[in-house]
A and B are shown apart, each in its own frame.
Chain A
Amino acid sequence: MRAAPTQEEVRRHNLGTLLRYIHIHGATSRAELTTRLGLNRSTIGALTADLTAAGLVTEKKEAPLRTGRAGRPSLVVRPESSRVYAYSLTIEVDSLHAARIGLGGRILDRREAPRPRGMQVGDAVQPLASFVHEMRADVPPGSRYVGAGLAIAGMVRRADGMVRLAPTIGWVDEPVGDALVEEIGDVGPMFVANIADVSAMVEHTRGAAAGRDNVIYLYGDVGVGAGIIVGGQRITGHGGYGGEVGHMVVNPDGQPCSCGSRGCWETEIGEYPLLRLAGRGDRSGREAVLAVVDAAMRGDWVAQQAVRQVGEWLGLGVGNLVNIFNPEAVIFGGTLRDVYLVAAAQIRSRLNEVALPACRDEIRLRTPELGRDAALIGAAELAFERLLADPLG
């Protein structure tokens, strides 16, 4: 028989729960915390006092301008966003991003650089490391560093953060996290995860899928990946590689894929097929995709046919995923957001044909609420997770 949790364990758990609530929901009054967390007033008071002493939150009396309720105004607890921070890095197909992110998910500082196609791992590590060095120089004194996270458009081994195969970026078996830690220096462990996974996590906690526990987040650029949340848990699979929906074969007679197979979903809905269909096969990148979407919306016939065809394939794949997972929401991220908004008629129609009525009945198709920042905030979330598990540890 397992021993009952000690008082100390209960307190640590409650501290973590309270800090997590403030981290996700922002400034909250003590009165509201009491109702939301189901703890009594004095417990909330003691917990916030501990967190305040640790420099993680502040408490302030605020004159409510509008509530019009009688009684003493409750203290408002807010996260120490400008003092407690993590570094967040992302390696996307066309760009490198670095940010300093405060508790509560606030972006305090950010840097961005283009990433030419075919750039090698060493070449990506250096600019990211120098971004961190730059941002580190501006950190106000008295700040508290929590950790660092990296989100990457590739498959990541859960055990050690090894990037196994990033077909769209062109690496095989690269210890990117370790290389970054070495280059940056004095940064602690670097948590590495797939970009679709962390974006899904962020949209699930504080974005378009908040409060929904069965969600598929599709992230598209050259390739297509998915962060899949089932029953409130992220599905990563045995080794951490799950969710590679872009390599689901939808057209066995289709185009060869960068992974070596043929007719993968991303060979029909990724950036290259869209540009090829639009007669712009000589271009590449996010801007080129947005230019096709723009042309389609303005009535360019070739561009319209291209987004419609991509929309049909997109709807077909989503229909299959809906049958398998029965999600409450499907979120279209990356450039798929823009494709969704201009080809929704095709996507929805095909989805309605493919998906079973019971599975599609309550489906919500959404675009991300946090836009392109989701990946950065999500990468920081990897680092904050340790703090939230044990705030005073």
Chain B
Amino acid sequence: MAATPLLELRGIDKSFGPVQVLHDVGLSIYPGEVTALVGDNGAGKSTLVKCISGIYTIDAGTVTFDGNQVAVNSPRDAAELGIEVVYQDLALCDNLDIVQNMFLGREKKRGLVLDEPTMEQMAGETLASLSVRTVKSLRQLVASLSGGQRQTVAIAKAVLWNSRVVILDEPTAALGVAQTAQVLELVRRLADNGLGVALISHNMNDVFAVSDRIVALYLGRTAAQVKTTDVTHSQVVELITAGRSGTIGLPPEKPAGAAGYTDITPPGADA
């Protein structure tokens, strides 16, 4: 397993007006590994992803990519680094076919016209490299695809651009059983092909089935970053719901003050 993270976030703070959503958050994504990002609703998972993908700018903290400190100020910056995000709504166009969707906005041209053969071949190769066998024709309209197939196309689209980090937001939500299984195997294969993968999920089975590391967020803080071989299901549930479990996680909360104010000291000696 890789020793150095491909993407590393440290001390990330993010506020929206008076509300501080992320406090000193850390996250490391390693090549060849699936890092599961878990946390209750409102723990800050989506905000963190939007900070990584350049949709939000961070207030404080550092982002290191491949050992170099980088500034991600826009989605274009993220794409140039090779960071792709697959959102829950997938952002596919129903009225276009699979190839057109995969190249949307980044079409290959030969002279003045679109280079359809090359695009079709690249799309086919990408799907084949992910061992996708469920799609009959690359010229099928996305409207005719099942939920699992759409997810597959969205993931393949993210992989097509030699991306190095792929972030998946709840990829199995709203899928049937057989399709969930296929998507989970696909997520695993992305990492086995050498990409750094982050998986956001509420489903503990999905997390334990494919992840190598688990990062638990609790009320906008990183409660713990652990290896999946070192924790149990109940420990992860405790990290999500209470921010700590035994010796891992955030330090115990002090009794709430008179104003209902609670001081939670963030972890990490280097903070």
**Contact among A65, A298, A344, A369 with B208 in the assembled complex (CB-CB below 8 Å):** A344
Pull 16 A–B residue pairs with CB atoms less than 8 Å apart, ordered by A. Answer: A65-B121, A290-B177, A298-B177, A341-B184, A341-B205, A343-B205, A344-B208, A344-B210, A346-B233, A348-B208, A352-B232, A357-B229, A361-B229, A363-B229, A366-B188, A367-B188
Kindly identify, within residues 194 to 241 of chain B, every residue whose CB is under 8 Å from any CB belonging to chain A. Answer: 204-210, 227-234
Other than A338-B177, A345-B204, give 6 A-B pairs with Cβ distance below 8 A. Answer: A65-B118, A290-B177, A344-B207, A345-B207, A349-B231, A357-B230
Q: Which of A338, A345, A360, A367: most chain B CB closer than 10 A? A: A345
Closest chain A CB from B31 CB (angstroms)? 15
Q: Do A66 and B229 touch (CB < 8 A)?
A: no
B→A interface (CB under 8 Å): 1, 117-118, 121-122, 131, 177, 180-181, 184-185, 188-189, 204-210, 227-234
A→B interface (CB under 8 Å): 65-66, 290, 293-294, 297-298, 337-338, 340-349, 352-353, 357, 360-363, 365-367, 369
The A interface, classified by DSSP as helix, strand, loop or mixed, is: helix
Q: Do A345 and B208 touch (CB < 8 A)?
A: yes
Identity of the chain B residue whose Cβ is nearest the Cβ of A342 in the assembled complex: B205
- In the bound complex, how far is the Cα of B181 from the Cα of A360, in angstroms? 24
Identity of the chain B residue whose Cβ is nearest the Cβ of A347 in the assembled complex: B208
**Contact among A65, A294, A344 with B205 in the assembled complex (CB-CB below 8 Å):** A344
- In the bound complex, how far is the Cα of B228 from the Cα of A361, in angstroms? 9
- In the bound complex, how far is the Cα of B117 from the Cα of A66, in angstroms? 11
- In the bound complex, how far is the Cα of B181 from the Cα of A66, in angstroms? 33
Q: What residues of B have a CB within 8 angstroms of the CB of A347 in the complex?
A: 208
Q: What residues of B have a CB within 8 angstroms of the CB of A362 in the complex?
A: 1, 229
Q: A65-B118, A297-B180, A347-B208 are in contact. Are A353 and B232 (CB under 8 A)?
A: yes
Q: What residues of A have a CB within 8 angstroms of the CB of B188 in the complex?
A: 366-367
Q: What residues of B have a CB within 8 angstroms of the CB of A337 in the complex?
A: 181
Closest chain A CB from B140 CB (angstroms)? 22
**Contact among A294, A360, A365 with B177 in the assembled complex (CB-CB below 8 Å):** A294
The B interface, classified by DSSP as helix, strand, loop or mixed, is: helix
Q: Do B208 and A293 touch (CB < 8 A)?
A: no
How many residue pairs bridge A and B at CB < 8 Å?
Answer: 68
- In the bound complex, how far is the Cα of B181 from the Cα of A294, in angstroms? 11
- In the bound complex, how far is the Cα of B1 from the Cα of A362, in angstroms? 8
Closest chain A CB from B199 CB (angstroms)? 13
**Contact among A338, A341, A349, A367 with B234 in the assembled complex (CB-CB below 8 Å):** A349
- In the bound complex, how far is the Cα of B104 from the Cα of A329, in angstroms? 38
Q: What residues of B have a CB within 8 angstroms of the CB of A298 in the complex?
A: 177
Q: A297-B180, A341-B209 are in contact. Are A367 and B204 (CB under 8 A)?
A: no
Q: Do A349 and B232 touch (CB < 8 A)?
A: yes
Q: What residues of A have a CB within 8 angstroms of the CB of B117 in the complex?
A: 65
Q: Do B233 and A348 touch (CB < 8 A)?
A: yes
Q: Do B228 and A297 touch (CB < 8 A)?
A: no
Q: Do A297 and B232 touch (CB < 8 A)?
A: no
Q: A343-B205, A344-B208 are in contact. Are A360 and B229 (CB under 8 A)?
A: yes
- In the bound complex, how far is the Cα of B203 from the Cα of A342, in angstroms? 10
Q: What residues of A have a CB within 8 angstroms of the CB of B205 in the complex?
A: 341-345
Q: Do B231 and A352 touch (CB < 8 A)?
A: yes
Q: A65-B118, A293-B177, A345-B205 are in contact. Are A369 and B131 (CB under 8 A)?
A: yes
Q: What residues of B have a CB within 8 angstroms of the CB of A367 in the complex?
A: 181, 185, 188
Q: What residues of B have a CB within 8 angstroms of the CB of A293 in the complex?
A: 177
Identity of the chain B residue whose Cβ is nearest the Cβ of A295 in the assembled complex: B177
Q: A362-B1, A366-B188 are in contact. Are A352 and B209 (CB under 8 A)?
A: no
Closest chain A CB from B139 CB (angstroms)? 18
Identity of the chain A residue whose Cβ is nearest the Cβ of B235 in the assembled complex: A349
Closest chain B CB from A54 CB (angstroms)? 29
Closest chain A CB from B214 CB (angstroms)? 10
Q: Which of A65, A290, A293: most chain B CB closer than 10 A? A: A65
Q: Do B181 and A341 touch (CB < 8 A)?
A: yes
- In the bound complex, how far is the Cα of B184 from the Cα of A293, in angstroms? 15
Q: What residues of B have a CB within 8 angstroms of the CB of A366 in the complex?
A: 188
Q: Which of A290, A348, A353, A366: most chain B CB closer than 10 A? A: A348
Q: What residues of B have a CB within 8 angstroms of the CB of A345 in the complex?
A: 204-205, 207-208, 233
Q: What residues of B have a CB within 8 angstroms of the CB of A346 in the complex?
A: 233
Q: What residues of A have a CB within 8 angstroms of the CB of B233 in the complex?
A: 345-346, 348-349
Identity of the chain A residue whose Cβ is nearest the Cβ of B212 in the assembled complex: A364
Closest chain A CB from B107 CB (angstroms)? 16
